[in-house]
Amino acid sequence: MVMANTERISRALGLLRDGLRPKCEDTWRGFYGNGWLETVNGRLHTPESNPSVGDAAFLFKGMKATWQEVFGHGFGPAIRALVFEVADARNSWAHQQSLSTDDTVRALDSMERLLEAFGNLDERRQIRNLRRDLMRQMVEEESRAERRKTAAKPTEGHPTAGLTPWREIIAPHADVAEGNFEQAEFAADLFEVLQGNAEPEYQDPGCCCPTGCHERCWSARCSRLRRPSRLKTALRCTRCGAGWPTSSAAETPMSWFGPTMRRGPTPVPRCEPCSSSAGRRWC
């Protein structure tokens, strides 16, 4: 199932908050003591009425407000830039602004790098999986678009003069006419057929053959193979390898050898594929 960019950012922000929260709490407590929450809230340009580090917005604002005093001693300007970039991505997501795929990939990469700097591995690994899944989706969409462009190109060559175009004889399906046809989408998934979960046209033979001729054909062939003493031995053509199941040539019905059967005291079949007299060779 394809995940929307906003959903990816939402999940990543939750993972980022859970990954940064323990580190920030310990750092603020070490600098400001037990009243660190009120102190950090007081450093904000607009203090919160109910501050909580469980809020990603408060966490990012607190990190930016106390960066020079607290975090600047252990992290360089590059990490500070990541904090500001992730905060901007959070604000865009909170205000329901449109997020392009490129912006989403960049925001996820910045979150991953920020967690790497703070030494968190579990949440970083999950965000990396979100980013890689999105990049894989981008490649698949680009490949699909390229295939559609190739399928939409006109066929090279010159048609025979006076030949009626096939589109005037029969109307193509909508996806074929629009150039959106992909052969892989019409291939049967044999595993789903085996499990019984395939589409009706692949799962039920009656959908493709409403007259039931396939059932009569297979019933006749199976009943022929179930006859006794038919599968013990076989007559095979020494030239092309064609054969007929039987226990002996005398027990083989004449109808099995077809119209090219040579009459005589010992039935000798004539091989229809190569039109030569068949030599006996027992299996």
Helix 36-43 / helix 56-65 crossing angle, nearest 10 deg: 80
Q: Name the residue type at position 195.
A: Q
Co-location of 74 and 130 in the same domain = yes
Mean pLDDT of 173-183: 68
pLDDT in tens, 55-90: 899 999 999 999 999 998 889 999 999 999 999 999
Total count of domains within the chain: 3
Mark whether 9 and 136 lie in a shared domain. yes
- Indicate whether 187 and 74 sit together in one domain: no
- Residues 133, 240 within the same domain: no
Q: Tell whether 119 and 20 lie within a shared domain.
A: yes
Domain boundary among 117, 141, 165: 141
Pseudo-torsion of CA 172, 173, 178, 182, nearest 10°?
A: -110
> Based on the domain organization, do 12 and 79 belong to the same domain?
yes
Same domain, 197 and 233: no
pLDDT at 193: 75
Burial label for 155, CB within 10 Å (0-12, 13-18, 19+), is exposed
Whether this model's pTM surpasses 0.75: no
104 and 196 fall within a common domain: no
Q: Note whether residue 153 is domain-resident.
A: no
Quick one: tokens of 40? 């950090």
Evaluate whether residue 163 is within a structural domain: no
Residue 278: what pLDDT?
44
196 contact partners, CB below 8 Å, separation of at least 6:
203
Of residues 206 and 267, the one with the higher pLDDT is 206
3-state DSSP of 176-216: HHCCCCCHHHHCCCHHHHHHCCCCHHHHCHHHHCCCCHHHH
For residues 235 and 115, membership in a common domain is answered with: no
Asked if residue 193 and residue 89 are part of one domain, the reply reads no
In a domain, 73, yes or no: yes
Is the pLDDT at 282 greater than 70? The verdict is no
In a domain, 150, yes or no: no
The H-or-E segment that residue 243 falls in is strand 243-246
Which of 91, 113, 141 finishes a domain?
141
CA–CA–CA angle 31, 33, 37 (5° rounding): 90
> Which structural domain, as residue segments, surrounds residue 102?
5-141
pLDDT of 239 strictly over 80: no
User: Residue 154: inside a domain, yes or no?
Assistant: no
Average pLDDT over residues 33-38: 92
Same domain? For 55 and 22 the reply is yes
pLDDT at 166 over 50: yes
